[in-house]
Structure 1
Amino acid sequence: MPRAATLSLLCCLPGALHGQRVTKAAPTDTGPTTAAITPADLRRRLYVFAADSMMGRAAGTADNLRATAYIERELRRLGLVPGGDGGSFFQQVPLVRRGVGQDAALTIDGVDGARFVAGRDFLVRDPGAAQRSVDGAATVYGGTWGDSSTYVAPAAANGKLVVVDVRRGWEADRAHLLKRYRGAAGIAVASYDSMPPDVRGALSDTPVSLADGEAPVVTTGATPAPVFLYVTRALRAALLGAPGRTVRGDVAFGDQPAPARNVVAILPGSDPAMRGQYVALGAHNDHVGYTRNPVDHDSMRAVLTVARPLGADSPERPLTAAQQRRVRALTDSLHRAHGGARPDSIYNGADDDGSGSMALLEIAEQLASLPTAPKRSIVFVWHTGEELGLYGSQWFTDHPTVPRDSIVAQLNMDMIGRGSASDVTGGGPAYLQLIGSRRLSTELGDLIERVNRETDAGFRFDYAYDANGHPEQYYCRSDHYEYARYGIPITFFSTGGHRDYHEVTDEPQYIDYDHYARVTTLVRDVAVRIANLDHRLVVDRAKPDPHGECRQ
């Protein structure tokens, strides 16, 4: 599930370790899965899908392609029908990575043999607009930001690369600098060395956006903006070593295709009159990748346990003295149990949303094993780019591979592997959150309640997060909404947030596999009940504007 607000930077914790990555042990009970939905099967699958080798499955990366290839291999083995592009299981989603090229570098006339490389000697900020070139620009010293008596006149900066110092730290008012020196070829702030490693890493990881309108749009004929750089002290000295030195090189941002794909599979219905209708089941295949600034896994988990019960959604406040003592004690205990510190850099995303993705595979395997399929067809969709802003589900619903009006309902699973009392208030073996189940179809909400009773699933549904205006806005934050905006009845199944949300500690070892299997089974039962109805679910609530803003 994506953050409600901009993803915060990884906090620096006591015992943080840099430049290393821990390799966690794989489970010992590996082997083939069975036709039944079982905790053991889900565990086997999740330890593959959320392994360190998947590197956090960020959309638009080779790591996500590796994860989706695993899903595709399983679907072929199970004998499902490809539902993607051109008879394949993949639907390509046009993402672009906006950033500088891997070989971006600067040289300076008069500095023989020196080549300054992006990511090592400088970082480039994305202006969200066309940029000027600094190739051939002379340098000029712009002064120390915050001391106006040292500023160079704007006219003297026109067409030049302006080098600016900062009084302390690494931050400078970028907007004001760009406004003051809007005629410059570029602005170089000499603060790279004092920039925290996590900030440096975050700025190096350029965003991925949809190509068809979501990427920053450059208006034809718009005035290009100056290139904005953070540079090292060494590069600053080279730039200002002599008056008017000339820079060579191209470091402007540009859009490069980023590989991204939904995985789509179909189990054809058994009733010739109904198989042209579909029950859609979904989860997202991506997570948020990895950090260049590893932390000690156990000290991170201690901080999360003591002070951040919602993980990355928790307010980032300094620890009190009492909390620091508890964190130290818990960290020491974990270190003793694990033989010392364990550096960790990978956001495995076991619950978010390895749990939903592997539940889909388990449901697919179980339904494919039946002697007679449900009457309506089932379409399974593993969406990409959910963490970036629901890009894969937006693409699928805007460009569906089955007729959109043939989809009678969509059931979305995101974070269904936890839900204990230590994870969420009121949690326990019977805990399950439902969101959106009656927002378009009262019948769908009633049906889920009935299935829960009649199958003795025993869940106690928490509807609190479905309330209109709820601050967490879960109805708008996962893939189901992209279906709901077109008037397709949906339900979002989740066991809720927890301390490991969007942290490196979201790993398979912390999943409650018995609870997870029971949720998976319930979703299977609901899907089958919808697929076998003698009528389409009745939509008795107002449909939203498919191109409007989501409001919970």
Structure 2
Amino acid sequence: MRFSTSLSFTVFVSLFGINPLLAQNDAIPADIQRVSKTARPEAIRAAMRFLADDALEGRKPGTRGFALAANYMQAQLEALGMQPAGENNTYRQAVPLRRWQVRESKSSLTLLSKDREQPLTYGKQFILNPTPDHANGDVTAPVVFVGYGVSAPELGYDDYAGIDVKGKIVAYVNGAPSTFPSNQRAYFSSAKAEIAVAHGAVGVLAFSLPTDLRNRIETAAPRARQGIYRWLDKQGKPQRTFPALQGAGSLSDSTARLLFANSPTSFTSAISAAMKNHPQAFPLNISVRMQTQTDVVEDVAGQNVIALLPGSDPVLKNEYIVFVAHLDHLGIGRPVKGDSIYNGAHDDASGVAINLETARLFASLPKAPRRSILFVGVTGEEMGLLGSDYFASNPTVPKDKIVANLALDMPFFFHPLLDIVPYGAEHSSLHKEVKQAASLLGMEISPDPIPEQTVFMRSDHFSFVRQGIPALFIKSGSQTGNPNLDGTKLNLDWRAMIYHTPQDDMNQPFDFNAATKHVQLQFLIGYLVAQADQRPTWNKDDFFGTKFGKGTVIK
């Protein structure tokens, strides 16, 4: 059963305390509180204004605009006295990126039944994903429907139970059961290909629920035609790919119905079962031939910016807390309302600007915190969390010494910051520091108001979770202080009308006082984690701690 908002809040209250506003703050010394109050809204605005200026042309990786943004961040951190923490005693880490694209004229998808072959039309009925591991992917196999394509026995749900898909193509519905907790729902919505490969599938086909208007072929095709990027390892091999898959594609709603033409279960019945969160799997009595020609389009010299504030404790200074925000955005693209520069003011010049001001607070301390602090501006977030995944996989400090990550991306400061949604806090001991800092700042802690947006998988903190590192991704909650202003509606409207358009520029009604509270929150949480005797740990039996934790789970 999906949590109601009131029930979700009850769960959060039980986790974070009976009343967040009544928590004690003895762990935050008065001088640290005074430092937090020196955060400057005008500094956040100024940094955002530079990073989101038209002169930076949308900060796409590999462009002059991105180089200017990286130079700016480095200069700001260097001026604060931060030390180089990249490669070869520099502030940079090279991130080799490559883009692949489907050559449509040499690619096809055909439905095969006993008495006919039915070729489909690219871009209208289907689209194919590039297959970086196979220049010429070619697979013909029977199709098995596997519901949501989710195998989560730990959550009492498994679409693959009792079905053999080895050597077959699996078809599934986008999304995940709404009964899952928000973050687990986000994870399984994004792990379909990995699960399919684990069960022996050689191809995947995805389609959306008829009610899901966000993933229509008409919407997805233009972006899919831009190809995909992946980072390369030292041997030049692309990472986060699935070599066992010979083909992967998405179908339109009407085309998905064609798969069920010979099925004993109708499309309508299968969709009804999915919407009722019932696991299901059955052969569709149809085969598919997928042929995908994948071309290498370009190599991009990506870069992360990395700076260090050394800790003051002779032992704990060898442990690190990593603050991350992504420097990149979408560059120059299709004009919208006469503008073709995708400035990315909120996404994510805001996060970079807030982290820079957070760095200034740390640099202004009379004594550095016990643990060391890393400030990282990553590349390629918009390409699939590539810069953060590269850093988390190949850190410039010992990986087992990174104890926590705090990521910022579109924190949403279009109204006063009265409550927060601390994605990730419920999974580890970091909830304690979140509670203490939020209490001091008079903020309430709220559950995810938009679980269907799968936010937990969509920013750089997850790259650290994947490496077993407890992480936080804090966004504004929905309280506005104005009974006539619905914060959730404001958020959803922004996502529908401004997100990833050229209108995400500085001509928006930002509340820079709210942005300043984000600085204070980041600073206080980071300080508390840096001062603690023990490093953060995953909660006992936590889903992500068990899956990725690698020994840092509370016993």
- Residue equivalent to 2:205: none
Give the distance between the partners of 2:519 and 2:381, measured in 1 at CA: 20
* Match status 1:357 vs 2:357: no
**Matched residue, 2:514:** 515
Within the candidate set 476, 499, 506, 1:495 is matched to 476
**2: CA distance between counterparts of 1:405 and 1:198?**
41
CA separation in 1, counterparts of 2:220 and 2:424? 37
Asked if structure 2 preserves the Cα contact closer than 8 Å seen for 1:268 and 1:376, the reply is yes
In structure 2, the CA distance between the partners of 1:430 and 1:201, relative to structure 1 (3 Å rule), is same
Unaligned runs of 5+ in 1: 1-33, 101-122, 129-163, 180-196, 224-250, 297-342, 421-427
Question: Judging changes above 3 Å, is the alpha-carbon distance between structure 1 residues 287 and 547 closer, same or farther for their aligned structure 2 residues?
Answer: farther
Q: How many residues align?
A: 356
C-alpha separation in 1, matches of 2:419 and 2:105: 44
Native 8 Å contact 1:284 1:383 kept in 2: yes
1:447 to 2:433 alignment: yes
Amino acid at match of 1:452: A
Q: Residue 397 of structure 2 aligns with which residue?
A: 402
After TM superposition, give the deviation of residue 417 of structure 1 in Å.
4.2
The answer to whether the Cα contact below 8 Å between 1:435 and 1:465 also exists between their aligned partners in 2 is no
Q: Deviations over 1:403-462 (max 9, x none)?
A: 112122111111124243xxxxxxx44132211102132xx21221122223xx122222
Per the alignment, in what secondary structure is the counterpart of residue 56 of structure 1?
A: coil
Q: Could you say which structure has the higher strand fraction?
A: 2
Partner of 1:207: 228
Contact 1:480 1:491 in 2 (8 A): yes
Secondary structure in 2 matching 1:508: coil
Which residue in the other structure is 1:254 paired with?
Answer: 296
Tell whether the 8 Å contact from 2:468 to 2:549 is kept in structure 1 after alignment.
no
Report the residue type matching 1:523 in the other structure. Q
Confirm or deny that 1:284 pairs with 2:272.
no
Q: Which residue of 1 aligns with 2:424?
A: 436
**What whole-Å deviation, never above 9, does each CA across 1:315-340 have from its counterpart, x for those lacking one?**
xxxxxxxxxxxxxxxxxxxxxxxxxx
Match of 1:372, SS state, is coil
Alpha carbons 2:309, 2:374 under 8 Å: kept: yes
Q: How far apart, in 2, do the equivalents of 1:394 and 1:82 lie?
A: 20
**Structure-2 residue corresponding to 1:524:** 523
The alignment partner of 2:397 has SS state of coil
Q: Which moved more, 1:41-50 or 1:390-399?
A: 390-399
Q: What's the TM-score, normalizing by structure 2?
A: 0.56
Give me the whole-angstrom Cα distance separating, in 2, the residues matched to 1:68 and 1:503. Answer: 22
1:355 CA drift (Å):
0.9
Amino acid at match of 1:436: G
Please give the alpha-carbon distance, in whole angstroms, between the structure 2 residues aligned to 1:387 and 1:204. Answer: 15
Contact 1:99 1:126 in 2 (8 A): no
Write out per-residue CA displacement over residues 144-186 of structure 1, whole angstroms, 9 at most, x where no aligned residue.
Answer: xxxxxxxxxxxxxxxxxxxx9x9xx9958788xx99xxxxxxx
Cα distance in structure 2, aligned partners of 1:51 and 1:124: 36
Name the structure 1 match of 2:204. none
Deviation of 1:90 after TM superposition, in Å, equals 1.0
Q: Is the partner of 2:383 in helix, strand or coil?
A: helix
Equivalent of 1:418, from 399, 405, 413? 413
Q: Equivalents in 2 of 1:389, 1:526: separation in Å? A: 27
Deviations 1:478-497 (A, max 9, x none): 11112122332221111274
Give RMSD over aligned pairs. Answer: 4.0
Residue-by-residue CA offset, 1:28-70 (whole Å, 9 max, x unaligned): xxxxxx9942110101110001111222222344432222121
Corresponding residue for 2:69? 67
- Which of 473, 480, 492 pairs up with 2:454? 473
Instruction: Name the aligned partner's letter for residue 364 of structure 1.
Output: A
Distance 1:544 1:507, change over 3 A: farther
Q: Give, in whole Å, the separation in 2 of the partners of 1:462 and 1:127.
A: 47
Give the residue type in structure 2 aligned to 1:445: H
Once the two structures are superposed, residues 295-324 of structure 1 have per-residue CA deviations (whole angstroms, 9 ceiling, x without a partner) of 22xxxxxxxxxxxxxxxxxxxxxxxxxxxx
Say which SS state the counterpart of residue 505 (structure 1) adopts.
Answer: coil
Query: Which residue type is aligned with residue 522 of structure 1?
Result: L
Query: Is residue 385 of structure 2 the alignment partner of residue 390 of structure 1?
Result: yes
Task: Give secondary structure in 1 for the equivalent of 2:425.
Answer: coil
Q: How far apart, CA to CA, are the structure 2 residues paired with 1:126 and 1:389? A: 26
Alpha-carbon distance change, 54 to 398 in structure 1, aligned in 2, over 3 angstroms: same
Structure-1 residue corresponding to 2:94: 92
Q: 1:126 to 1:174 in 2, by over 3 A?
A: same
Q: 1:532 to 1:402 in 2, by over 3 A?
A: same
Offset at residue 273 of structure 1 (A): 2.2
User: C-alpha deviations, 1:236-264, integer Å up to 9, x for none?
Assistant: xxxxxxxxxxxxxxx99325320211111
- Give the match's secondary structure for 1:412: strand
8 A contact 1:486–1:545 mirrored in 2: no
Equivalent residue of 2:306, what SS? strand
Q: Secondary structure at the match of 1:363?
A: helix
* Mapped partners of 1:450, 1:486: distance in 2: 26
Q: TM-score, normalised by structure 1?
A: 0.57
Equivalent residues in 2 for 1:109-120, closer than 5 Å: none
Structure 2 residue runs without a partner (length 5+) = 1-35, 109-118, 129-136, 139-217, 248-292, 478-490, 551-555
Which amino acid is the alignment partner of residue 93 of structure 1? V
Equivalent-residue separation in structure 1 for 2:468 and 2:549 (angstroms): 12
Where in structure 2 are the equivalents of 1:248-327 lying within 5 Å? 253-292=295-334, 294-296=335-337
Contact preservation (8 Å) 2:328, 2:381: yes
- Secondary structure at the aligned position of 1:275 is classed as helix
